Amino acid sequence: MSERDHITIKVLPFAAGGFPGSGQSIFYSTGPVPQLDTVHLDQSHGPAFLDAEAQLAKYRVLLDRMEAKALPPEKSRDLIRSIVQDL
């Protein structure tokens, strides 16, 4: 699936260190109308949906930092394949 044009997978290796939000599922949904952008968080008490500008900005910065530390798509794919082969 990661070889399809519309799918990009980037692995954040443990060596990159910890980040705020680590261990939490974060889904940042964007579209053609920026006012409809939404962050979906899976939390212990259930899902949370955030759409305030300040909240969106906070999670965009967090995700940008994580993406900067992540492996590029090809190296991420190679790492995933090596893990699968070791199973």
- The reported pLDDT for the residue numbered 60 is 93
- The reported pLDDT for the residue numbered 38 is 96
Structural domain includes residue 55: yes
Residue 63 domain boundaries: 14-86
- The reported pLDDT for the residue numbered 54 is 95
Structural domain includes residue 6: no
Looking at the 3D structure of the chain, how many domains does it have? 1
- The reported pLDDT for the residue numbered 59 is 92
Structural domain includes residue 4: no
Structural domain includes residue 8: no
Structural domain includes residue 18: yes
Structural domain includes residue 56: yes
- Hey, which bits of the chain come out as E strands? 26-29, 38-43, 46-50
Structural domain includes residue 23: yes
- The reported pLDDT for the residue numbered 17 is 78
Task: Answer for the pair 71, 79: CB distance below 8 angstroms, yes or no.
Answer: yes
Task: Answer for the pair 21, 40: CB distance below 8 angstroms, yes or no.
Answer: no
Residues of the chain with confidence (pLDDT) below 50 = none
- The reported pLDDT for the residue numbered 50 is 95
For residue 68 the two structure tokens come to 């900067």
Structural domain includes residue 3: no
